[in-house]
A and B are shown apart, each in its own frame.
Chain A
């Protein structure tokens, strides 16, 4: 280890630096809060690592699997809901197994700071029957990366690493280790591993089932799981998972006579949990996200054992943990600070002044007012903020791409006019296939692709379809006469509203592309230009 080679890093950056130092050859990702900074850091700091943004999480997962097949180490990064998109490839990568090490990084968002749900990615790891690592600190995030790649190659399985927003977006000092040589082995030559015809898949799945014992031994012996014992019998013991370990340790449990089992490597260390339970009257399971471990521990210890956690109401059923709610579960009263101030109101986020999406919603609201039955199906991105005042323009926002397909289904049911609003990056992520469905079924929908030439919500990453949207829509079969491009500016309001009106009146699929660069990326470019002068 290099003495004093420390860096102040975000959790995401610690993951990235760990992956660089573990000798990865590629990172594959689609931007999504709170995972975006991992790939950005690798792009900025490791020019020899392949790192172009992918179209969506599924293409990312598959490309990484291909790199692994060819014998190199690969990292895939996504936010938790991206796991749903990548799930087909993810689950089946456990059946094929890997050749070069493969680590899948899922960044969960308990409390939904920037997300539409708080699903817990550890369920996916368990579902795919692979090891999961859940760092509790930035240092552990760094240290676990090399460990994860080595374990992946040892087991010939992908490894899931799960972080949460508070770790991803929190900085601390991280001690660097020596960088290892870029890993390379020969491409896998055994076709039967990789051609998942039923006969092969059954054999591969049997091997995966057989490996579960090895997974359990690795977690039992893991340097990342350990128990801090106390003398004699304890009233309460804690199973502290991932970042929840910090909230427990904040209260100095040793001084309270509370032993703590730290769990950051899964499958759960069943023997250690049973041993802890035998020494304590009760166990508390502290975990950020959903009660994944609590359910398993309940099954392990039986109904007679007094178990506490999110399911019993000792910790909140939803939302992220913090030192206060964990302290309460440990029997420590919340410190009484000042009462809430009276003159404070919420300050929700809003579309930037000068943003093109604002002009799109102004135009849409004007036209929609002429059609009392109009419904506007929204999508995921900055423009979701069109749901809030002053626009209150959208009727739905569910998942990446759902604007187009929900509009199609609603139009099929007779709803008119059915209008979809989707961003440029979201359209290439998951909107194109839905548009093909609508074209093939000649559904009566009007699709607005609000193109700001970037992936704006996550900070301005390249957008996969830039300069290709008209060609994509025409290629998918939209009548070229009904692919219309406008510039969303207040001075063009009359033109934009009349085009929207015309396309609503057209019976079939039409696409309107309001195109103007994101005000944030534009300002950034202007600043850079000024700085160069």
Chain B
């Protein structure tokens, strides 16, 4: 099995943490992984993406081909749309519905959401509101990962939960519990619909 995933967002939104959790889970499961990140100038509030390739076979390219991604996971709705040329026809988009407006010419929100709704396989949730309402404003990214979990397929939700425990272990039991809870909020939002 092989899964090509694009993680998208704005510098500082925490997509590299999502990548770390998935990467750690893949390493523990013995699944091959290549994960390209953006460091440097773009991290100052620009658009950032990370490509994650997971496979039971050998992986060569660090980058994903156009029209080949199985999944786009995005912290921000416009950033999700930025990468649709890379998405397979039957691929899924899992994204936050809440815009991050740090530019003066951000597109009309209604039109943006309408374009997103036209995509055949889309899951959206106001992850920042969900995280805030549950007193975990810094875990919106893990809520998003929970939403995306069933589409990652090559790793199970349980493997991702175990990875969350390892990745956050150094920050203490309370932080681990909070992030597991965030993951479950996202998971339940998708799987109980």
Give chain A's interface residues, CB within 8 Å of chain B.
6, 8, 10, 33-34, 36-37, 113-114, 166-167, 169-173, 243, 245-247, 249-250, 322-324, 327, 334-352, 382, 385, 389, 457-459, 531
Assess whether B112 is in contact with A33, with CB atoms less than 8 Å apart.
no
The residue on A at minimum CB distance from B100 is: A347
Interface 0/1 of B29-68, CB less than 8 Å to A: 0001111111111111111000000000001111111111
Shortest distance from the beta carbon of B168 to any chain A beta carbon, whole Å: 12
Assess whether B67 is in contact with A323, with CB atoms less than 8 Å apart.
no
Assess whether B45 is in contact with A352, with CB atoms less than 8 Å apart.
yes
Assess whether A352 is in contact with B44, with CB atoms less than 8 Å apart.
yes
Task: Give Cα A349–Cα B104 distance, bound, in whole angstroms.
Answer: 13
Assess whether B39 is in contact with A341, with CB atoms less than 8 Å apart.
no
Task: Give Cα A341–Cα B104 distance, bound, in whole angstroms.
Answer: 19
Shortest distance from the beta carbon of A344 to any chain B beta carbon, whole Å: 5
Shortest distance from the beta carbon of B64 to any chain A beta carbon, whole Å: 8
| CB-CB under 8 A for A343 and B88, given A6-B27, A323-B63, A334-B67 | no
Assess whether A338 is in contact with B85, with CB atoms less than 8 Å apart.
yes
Assess whether B105 is in contact with A246, with CB atoms less than 8 Å apart.
no
Assess whether A246 is in contact with B39, with CB atoms less than 8 Å apart.
no
Cβ of B23 within 8 Å of any chain A Cβ, yes or no, is: yes
The residue on B at minimum CB distance from A341 is: B81
Assess whether B35 is in contact with A458, with CB atoms less than 8 Å apart.
no
The residue on A at minimum CB distance from B64 is: A323
Of A36, A327, A349, which contacts B45 at CB under 8 A?
Answer: A349
Assess whether A343 is in contact with B115, with CB atoms less than 8 Å apart.
yes
Shortest distance from the beta carbon of A66 to any chain B beta carbon, whole Å: 30
Assess whether A343 is in contact with B107, with CB atoms less than 8 Å apart.
yes
Chain B interface, number of residues (Cβ within 8 angstroms) = 53
The residue on B at minimum CB distance from A11 is: B62
Assess whether B39 is in contact with A249, with CB atoms less than 8 Å apart.
no
Interfacial residues of chain B within 63-100, with CB under 8 A of chain A in the complex: 63-68, 78-79, 81-82, 84-89
Cβ of B108 within 8 Å of any chain A Cβ, yes or no, is: yes
Assess whether A350 is in contact with B61, with CB atoms less than 8 Å apart.
no
Assess whether A169 is in contact with B46, with CB atoms less than 8 Å apart.
no
Assess whether B10 is in contact with A113, with CB atoms less than 8 Å apart.
no
With contacts A169-B38, A171-B33, A323-B64 known, what are 13 further pairs, Cβ within 8 A? A8-B27, A113-B38, A114-B42, A169-B36, A170-B36, A246-B62, A335-B66, A335-B68, A344-B82, A345-B105, A345-B106, A348-B46, A350-B102
What are 5 inter-chain pairs, A to B, with CB distance below 8 A? A113-B38, A167-B62, A172-B59, A343-B111, A345-B106
Task: Give Cα A247–Cα B60 distance, bound, in whole angstroms.
Answer: 7
Shortest distance from the beta carbon of B163 to any chain A beta carbon, whole Å: 11
Of B44, B60, B67, B78, which contacts A349 at CB under 8 A?
Answer: B44
Assess whether A341 is in contact with B35, with CB atoms less than 8 Å apart.
no
**Contacting residues, chain A, for B82 (C-beta < 8 A):** 341, 344
Cβ of B146 within 8 Å of any chain A Cβ, yes or no, is: no
Assess whether B47 is in contact with A347, with CB atoms less than 8 Å apart.
yes
Shortest distance from the beta carbon of A341 to any chain B beta carbon, whole Å: 4
**Contacting residues, chain B, for A171 (C-beta < 8 A):** 23, 33-37
Cβ of B103 within 8 Å of any chain A Cβ, yes or no, is: yes
Task: Give Cα A250–Cα B38 distance, bound, in whole angstroms.
Answer: 22
**Contacting residues, chain A, for B41 (C-beta < 8 A):** 33, 113-114, 349, 385, 457
Task: Give Cα A166–Cα B78 distance, bound, in whole angstroms.
Answer: 24
Assess whether A166 is in contact with B60, with CB atoms less than 8 Å apart.
no
Shortest distance from the beta carbon of A367 to any chain B beta carbon, whole Å: 25
Shortest distance from the beta carbon of B83 to any chain A beta carbon, whole Å: 9
| CB-CB under 8 A for A170 and B115, given A339-B85, A351-B44, A457-B41 | no
Assess whether B61 is in contact with A247, with CB atoms less than 8 Å apart.
yes
Task: Give Cα A336–Cα B108 distance, bound, in whole angstroms.
Answer: 27
Assess whether A344 is in contact with B81, with CB atoms less than 8 Å apart.
yes
**Contacting residues, chain B, for A36 (C-beta < 8 A):** 39
Assess whether B23 is in contact with A350, with CB atoms less than 8 Å apart.
no
The residue on A at minimum CB distance from B175 is: A531
**Contacting residues, chain B, for A170 (C-beta < 8 A):** 34-37, 62
